[in-house]
Amino acid sequence: MNMVGSRTDTPVLEVARINVWKNRHWILRNVSLTVPRSSVVVLVGPNGSGKTTFLRSLAGVLMSLDGWETSGRLSFGFSRADEFSKSYFGQVLRPVEEMTVAEFLALASDLDRRRTAEGPEGPLFMTKHLRVRDALGVEELKNVGLSQLSGGQWQRVRLAQCLSKDAQVCILDEPDAFLDVYWRSVLKGLIEARRRAGDLVVLSVHRPAEWAGCATHWVGLDGGEVKFVEAGADSFPAVMMERLFLGKSLDSSEGVD
């Protein structure tokens, strides 16, 4: 199910010796990575390994936070920042605004709608937008208040907001949290559709073994450093994962932060 049309301006991610620290405490150290276009990059690592900080660095979120310092070079393969757009899905446990699902999605999609509605891609974009919503089953929730949603429903609403954006780069922090096996399968289908369309997806996940066959690259983080980079959609780096988690058993039923 291809939700996004093919692109010719697909990104290439280049990370060169990225360092992040706060109050003289290192969070990421000398992180380097090069990923070709049309990739799904899955980050794995124990709690506190730097996954969320790395994703926030890619999204540009750290620039707005006090006390954080960064160095190094980050590029998505475009000569100018305004030549592409990013969509970021962070960890938000509960909604902070009292509004309905429909109002939340309308606010989130307003900028994309204005950008595309007058051009030749406008009607096509709206079709993609509605398909993502339909796939995640949020239309039936449109009149429900955000505070009334379960954890899984809130996660799906937020994913619909993020994945319906016409962005070449999608950055997702634990998007499979709170989702049952069916909705995790739907999520993987949407991400695979993005990859086939030429988009770049970088994400951290709770159940890494489930992403074998979808991930094109695995990146292992520990102590803020890259411990391994494994390429191949059909391979799951089990040996490297066991070393990373000190022999901890990893299967599709066990969550990993």
The reply to whether 137 falls in a domain is yes
pLDDT tens-digit readout, 44-82: 999 889 999 999 999 988 866 778 889 999 988 865 666
H/E stretch holding 15: strand 13-22
- Partners of 22 in the beta sheet? 25, 68
pLDDT above 90: residue 43: yes
Per-residue pLDDT, 122: 45
User: In sequence order, what DSSP letters do the residues of 184-250 get, joined into one string?
Assistant: HHHHHHHHHHHHHTT-EEEEE-S-GGGGTTT-SEEEEEETTEEEEEEE-TT---HHHHHHHTTT---
Nearest-10 Cα torsion for 186, 106, 78, 188: 0
Which residue is associated with the tokens 């997806």?
201
The reply to whether 213 falls in a domain is no
Per-residue pLDDT, 79: 59
pLDDT class of 17 with cuts at 50, 70, 90:
very high
The reply to whether 54 falls in a domain is no
Structure tokens that stand for 8 in this block: 């010719």
Structure tokens that stand for 207 in this block: 């159940």
Q: HSE-up of 213 (CA within 13 Å, CB side)?
A: 5
The reply to whether 70 falls in a domain is no
The reply to whether 154 falls in a domain is yes
Closest C-alpha among 256, 131, 154 to residue 203: 256
Provide the terminal-to-terminal Cα distance of the chain, rounded to the nearest Å.
Answer: 29
DSSP 100: B
Amino acid at 116: T
The reply to whether 111 falls in a domain is yes
Closest C-alpha among 123, 132, 126 to residue 1: 132
Averaged pLDDT score across all residues of the chain? 82
Q: How many domains is the chain partitioned into structurally?
A: 1
CA distance 212 to 224: 24
Structure tokens that stand for 100 in this block: 């309905």
Per-residue pLDDT, 2: 32
The reply to whether 237 falls in a domain is no
Return the HEC string of 27-49.
Answer: EEEEEEEEECCCCEEEEECCCCC
Domain span holding position 101:
91-167
The reply to whether 121 falls in a domain is yes
Whether 239 contacts 63, CB under 8 Å: no
Nearest-10 Cα torsion for 241, 245, 247, 253: -80
H/E stretch holding 70: strand 68-75
Give pTM, 2 decimals. Answer: 0.84
Whether 99 contacts 155, CB under 8 Å: no
